[in-house]
Structure 1
Amino acid sequence: MRITLTAALLLGACPALADTIEAPATINSVTLFPQGAQVVRQVQITGPSGTNEVLVPGLPKGTDISSLRVSGDGVSVGAVSLIDGRAPALAKVDSAPIKAARERLAQAREALANAKDQVATIEAKAQAARDQITFLKGAGTQVSDPSQLQAIAQVVGDQILAASERAIAAEADARRAREALDPQEKAVKQAQAALDALENPAKDHDVLRAMVQGSGTLTITSFVDNAGWQPTYDLRLDRAAGKLDMTRYVSVHQSSGEDWRDVDLTLSTARPGAQSAPSEVYPRQVSSGPPRPVMPLAKSNARVADMAGAPAPMMEAAFSGTAKLQMQGETVTYHYPSKVDLRDGVDDLRLKLDDKVLPVEVIAEAAPLSDPQAYRVAEGKNATGEILLPGPATLFVGGALVGQTQLPMIAAGDDLHLGFGAIEGLRLSRTEPDTSEGDRGIISKSNERREVVQITVKNLTQTDWPMRVIDRVPYSEQDDLKVSTSFSPKPETTEYGDKRGVVAWRFDLPAGAEKELRSETVLTWPADQVLR
């Protein structure tokens, strides 16, 4: 039977308490969100019949009772409260975790003692061999016959040699045995530290008090804000194979006020603290009327505007809200296969999540308006079947590190567009041919202007490259301002990325080849107006 916290409303007034039970809880599992975490701890309740008061110490200081959920398996749960001031006197009874920690410490000490006994035994063998050598060297003889004396010397020498070999071998064994003591000594220190942490917990903690009936398992679920996780990526591009090898990691952190030891970890893309319902849409009223007069600027303000080169506004823009990243699609969870330790406010743990392979096309992309070289770009689809969350990515090409970037959020099946560093051998120049008047690239009349842009692309590498060159030409949304543009050769699109006036050419450029792109734009407008 599992009864939740709402059972407190059904139990009513409690009869006289049969007993007060101290029952420290153990954190079993943690679900981490990008911001926040859900912590689940359990405690075994064994008490006399009737209603008992259960005190569960060790909850983090400042735990929000509104986030607590207490349920029982075989236990009826009544009133629940948090004690964060003067805690009641708790019985000095060893809990199951303390007993287990003491047992581990005893086992570690026993293993260390056995290892030290082995070292002492080996050292005793070495010392015995050295003592034998000393005895043999100091032993006298009364033999005067040269042949007998030679035989005795030979025997003594052989025995000294054998004893020396035994001593050297024993000392080598003792040295190796002493080196093997280090892991045993570290194990004892770790076991002692774990026991100390359980026997002497931090004083700044809360105590959960609950009225329960029966024996069974009490499950306590709480939410903490100071925790979270973020994905990180290693992206390895293989142009020849047309694939992108993606290794995903997660960086996990928590400052909840307690250590998480040997917990079952689940990572969730849900955001419990974020907006949970769509925004309200308000009506928009429009009206028309005479244009507003332009107010003259004060001299000081006019001077500042002139220095900044700020053009006068052409129209009043409609109000637009600030765009914010929103999670799309269903929640995705990742369960880590092994238990995890994460200390409070200390560890920033990095865990490997998985490996994925994405098919991509590699092209050279250039924007000569800003850059004199092209860049290696991988394009494809997110074929993982999962959403790729935003996070830092380290970029590799051919096994070499080429840079770092911030991977945007990419929904399952959405387009993938990632840059992988410059290609220095693909050079571009963008010029506006001079005119007879000396104006660069512009021939002006009272109501007409002609702009000519010429782009030169050179492939100085030893590799053929598929190219995409992106540039821009003027466009107009006014009937009186006419814009006409001709291209040579014709671009693939004049609205690249759904942006008007942004043009893109696609072509293949062999190694050592050169290509020219040209645009010519004519703008005409009424003689009594100026071009802005």
Structure 2
Amino acid sequence: MRITLVAALLLGATPALADTIEAPATIRAVTLFPRGAQVVRDVTLKLPEGQHEVLVPGLPEGTDISTLRVMGEGVQIGAVSLIDGRTPALTNTDSAQIKDARARLDQATEALANGQDQVATIRAKAQAAQDQIDFLKGAGTQVSDPAQLQAMAQMVGDQILAISERAIAAQADARRAESALKPLQEAVKQAQAALDALQNPAQNHDVLRAMVQGSGTLTITSYAGNAGWQPSYDLRLDGANNTLDMERFVSVHQATGEDWSNVDLTLSTARPGGQSAPAPVYPRLARIGPPMVAKPLSKNLARADSGMAAPAPMMAEAALSDTAALQMQGETVTYHYPTAVDLRDGVDDLRLKLDAKKIPVNVLAEAVPLSDPQAYRVAEGTNDTGEILLPGPANLFADGAMVGQTQLPMVAAGDKLRLGFGAIEGIRLSRTMPDTTEGDRGLISKSNERREVVQIDVKNLTNRDWPMRVIDRVPYSEQDDLKISYKFSEQPSANNYDDKRGVLAWRFDLPAGQEKQIRTETTLSWPTDQILR
């Protein structure tokens, strides 16, 4: 009995639970990541005293409650849950939106009824005229005197003609009035559809349920995965001033299941769904053992194995090798768009202009005669914008003319930037091997030797001087028994260029109309019981 009394006292001290209230939310702001979006909604509440169950419909289907955050200003928030199935029945009065929709339906229905009444009135006039005609046609049957019958016939004929004209005019008015009903009927149809949509919302949306007390604003923050933005660039190279003018744009898309209308848009370079910590390094155990002897395969297995694309050891080596993944470098950068944005679900790809930057660069002609008969215009510099440059497609312009398109890689703030701006057809290259010999140096030496000579010719047929970089390669060795020596007509400016062994680079200026020749001589020697592979 005491327990019951205490429970009753506690219940008496608890605010009474009022009816369930539906309160639609308005999307106020969106923070868009390269993949995903954070959506902020506001719900304005004016609640009676006590605790209430508030239903907020319209959240995208599949909203993750773990990413959902609900905050209140002027209200106290209790338990929060997501409903993705049947919504609880509402026992409170209709919302303001439903009341407005019902009022619009009543107005449209009343207007249609008035129009139908007018049509019925016109139809009644036409029917009355027809009834008069029928009466007059039967009136002459009771007259036997021929003179009276003739006079009666003349009178009836005149009256039928006049009444027929009124009937035809009434029917024409009725047809016009019925045509005028079509807009009214469409208005009723649309008003009914709008009311049905509010009273029976689509089932492919989630509903937020929260226990709320007080009056104020609910702020709902959720994460949507099917959205994102990607930068794109217009890169304009000014070779005379050695500058790169960069215009940045963003392409915005979303297929979250709802339209974004008049939202405050912020673009962020953060990647909430990406890797947030370094990958672990696992111990590597080295072991030795006797060499494995390959067992001969049966004929059937040998035939089956011959169709394999790659042996298992090669696949295992690939799995153990390092892999590169796209990761953020530097601090997160955000861009706030100055005007409100509309972006419909799944149908709009919005392109917005972001900003413009100017980057100082060095411009040179880079030549790889091993693969290309001409040089290419290359700009090299440093990303001094103070911001990370995200990967994206870029249109390339050189001295005012469009020369191509490329995919700009991710470039961290302060990192090196290198871009190609198309071929320079006036710088021609040739790479020949005029002297290559291989064979015994003598019967007693017990060694083999190969001598390779490579000749590179570079011609500047343009009307301007060009700073040049010529890149070529020579063989290198990791075996003590394979000896390699080199001779150069001009020493390379860089050995192991771009951290690649055996790759050489020469830097020089080539005036207009001039040409340059580079010769390399490589000698390889190895024991006679070995072969060069």
Q: TM-score, normalised on structure 2?
A: 0.73
What is the CA deviation profile of residues 84-121 of structure 1, one whole-angstrom value per residue up to 9, with x for unaligned ones? 2222345532349989xx9xxxxxxxxxxxxxxxxxxx
Letter in 2 for 1:93: S
Distance 1:355 1:296, change over 3 A: farther
Conserved 8 A contact 1:444-1:450: no
2:226, 2:255 within 8 Å by CA — same for their partners in 1?
A: yes
1:98–1:198 contact (8 Å) kept in structure 2: no
Mapped pair 1:442 → 2:437: yes
Q: How does 1:80-99 map to 2 (within 5 A)?
A: 80-90=80-90, 91-95=93-97
In the alignment, structure 1 residue 66 sits paired with structure 2 residue 66 = yes
Q: CA 1:270/1:53 → structure 2, altered by over 3 Å: closer, same or farther?
A: same
Amino acid at match of 2:421: F
Does 2:225 align with 1:230? no
User: Quick one: which amino acid aligns to residue 277 of structure 1?
Assistant: A
The residue number in structure 2 matching 1:463 is 464
- Equivalents in 2 of 1:293, 1:364: separation in Å? 54
Aligned-residue offset at 1:204: 2.5
Match of 2:498, SS state, is helix
Residues 425-477 of structure 1, C-alpha deviation per residue, up to 9 Å, x if partnerless? 1110111114xxxxxx3333352111111111011111111000101101111
Q: Which moved more, 1:502-511 or 1:287-296?
A: 287-296
Q: Give 1:392 shift.
A: 0.7
Q: 1:398 is matched with which residue?
A: 399
Letter of the aligned partner of 2:439 in structure 1?
Answer: S
Matched residue type, 1:417: R
Residues 442 and 452, structure 1, Cα contact 8 Å, conserved in 2? no
Which residue of the partner structure matches residue 287 of structure 2? 287
Asked if structure 2 preserves the Cα contact closer than 8 Å seen for 1:76 and 1:212, the reply is yes
Q: Displacement, 1:19?
A: 3.4
Which residue in 1 is equivalent to 2:343?
Answer: 342
Q: For residue 50 of structure 1, report the CA deviation from its aligned partner.
A: 1.3
Query: Does 2:356 align with 1:372?
Result: no
Deviation at 1:373, TM superposition (A): 0.6
Tell me the equivalent position of 1:480: 481
Which stretch shows the higher mean deviation, 320-329 or 411-420? Answer: 320-329
Deviation at 1:287, TM superposition (A): 3.2
TM-score by length of 1: 0.73
Residues 74-153 of structure 1: matches in 2 within 5 Å? Answer: 74-90=74-90, 91-95=93-97
Does the Cα contact within 8 Å between 1:39 and 1:223 map onto a contact in 2? Answer: yes
Secondary structure at the counterpart of residue 361 of structure 1: strand
> Alignment length, in residue pairs?
419
TM-superposed CA distance for 1:323, in Å, is 2.0
Could you tell me how far apart the structure 2 residues matched to 1:499 and 1:401 are? 32
Q: Is the 8 A contact 1:19 1:48 kept in 2?
A: no
Give the letter aligned to residue 443 of structure 1: E
CA contact (8 A) 1:485 1:521 kept: yes
- Give the aligned partner of residue 271 of structure 1: 271
Q: Which amino acid aligns with 1:519?
A: T
- Structure 1 residues 456 and 381: alpha-carbon distance in aligned structure 2, compared to 1, 3 A threshold: same
Tell me the distance in 1 between the aligned counterparts of 2:367 and 2:100. Answer: 64
Instruction: Find the aligned partners of 1:21 and 1:297 in 2 and give their Cα distance.
Output: 77
2:454 is paired with a residue whose SS is: strand
Instruction: Please name the residue that 2:410 is paired with.
Output: 409
Aligned AA for 1:242? N
How far 1:529 moved relative to its partner? 1.4
Residue 66 of structure 2 aligns to a residue in which SS?
helix
**1:512-523 counterparts in 2 under 5 A?**
512-523=513-524
Q: Structure 1's 97 and 384: CA in aligned 2 closer, same or farther, altered over 3 A? A: farther
Q: What SS class does the counterpart of residue 527 from structure 2 fall into?
A: coil
Q: Percent identity?
A: 71
How far residue 34 of structure 1 moved from its aligned partner, in angstroms, is: 1.0
Q: Name the counterpart of 2:426.
A: 425
2:128 maps to: none
Shift of 1:478: 1.4
- What SS is found at the alignment partner of 2:273? coil
Aligned to 2:141: none
Give the gaps of 5 or more residues in structure 1.
1-12, 103-188, 435-440
Q: 2:20 corresponds to which residue? A: 20
Name the residue aligned to 2:327: 326
Provide, for residues 336-375 of structure 1, a one-character-per-residue CA deviation record: whole Å limited to 9, x for no partner. 1111111000001111110000000110001111111100
Instruction: Specify the code of the residue in structure 1 equivalent to 2:429.
Output: L
Seen in structure 2, the aligned counterparts of structure 1 residues 202 and 262 have a Cα distance that, compared at 3 Å, is: farther
Classify the secondary structure of the residue corresponding to 2:434.
coil
2:152 counterpart residue number: none
How far off is 1:197 after superposition?
11
Alignment of 1:136-175 (within 5 A): none
The Cα shift of 1:44 comes to 1.0
Change (3 A) 1:88 1:14: farther
Change (3 A) 1:294 1:457: farther
Instruction: Give the distance between the partners of 1:530 and 1:290, measured in 2 at CA.
Output: 26
What is the deviation of 1:479?
1.4
Residue aligning to 1:246: 246
Residue identity matched to 1:72: G
Cα distance, 1:341–1:209 mapped onto 2, change above 3 Å: same
From the superposition, tell whether residues 520 and 323 of structure 1 become closer, same or farther in structure 2 (CA, over 3 Å): same
Which SS does the other structure have where 1:497 is aligned?
Answer: helix
Does the C-alpha gap of structure 1 residues 489 and 97 become closer, same or farther in structure 2, counting only changes over 3 Å?
A: farther
Alignment-derived partner of residue 360 in structure 2: 359
Question: Aligned partners of 2:46 and 2:197: how far apart in 1?
Answer: 22
Q: Which residue of 2 aligns with 1:53?
A: 53
With over 3 angstroms needed to count, the CA separation of the structure-2 counterparts of 1:267 and 1:459, relative to structure 1, is same
- Structure 1 residue 506 and structure 2 residue 497: aligned? no
Please say if residues 394 and 407 of structure 2, whose CA atoms lie closer than 8 Å, have aligned partners that are also in contact.
yes
The structural deviation recorded for 1:322 is 2.2
Computing the radius of gyration over CA atoms, which structure comes out larger, 1 or 2? 2
Instruction: Indicate yes or no: 2:35 matched with 1:35.
Output: yes
> What is the SS of the residue equivalent to 1:220?
strand
Instruction: Determine helix, strand or coil for the equivalent of 2:237.
Output: strand
Partner Cα separation in structure 2 for residue 318 and residue 40 of structure 1: 42
The equivalent residue for 2:219 is: 219
Match of 2:207?
207
Structure 1 CA distance, aligned partners of 2:451 and 2:52? 91
Q: Which residue of 2 aligns with 1:113?
A: none
219 and 506 in structure 1: CA distance in 2 versus 1, 3 angstrom threshold: same
Aligned pair in 2 of structure 1 residues 393, 196: CA closer, same or farther (>3 Å)? farther
Looking at structure 1, the residues matched to 437 and 87 of structure 2 have their Cα atoms a distance apart, in angstroms, of 83
- Bigger mean CA deviation after superposition, 474-483 or 359-368: 474-483
Q: Distance in 1 between matches of 2:515 and 2:369?
A: 15
Decide whether the 8 Å contact of 2:23 with 2:95 is kept in 1. Answer: no
Classify 1:337/1:495 alpha carbon distance in 2 versus 1 (closer, same or farther; 3 Å).
same
Q: Is contact 2:85–2:203 with CA below 8 Å preserved after alignment?
A: no
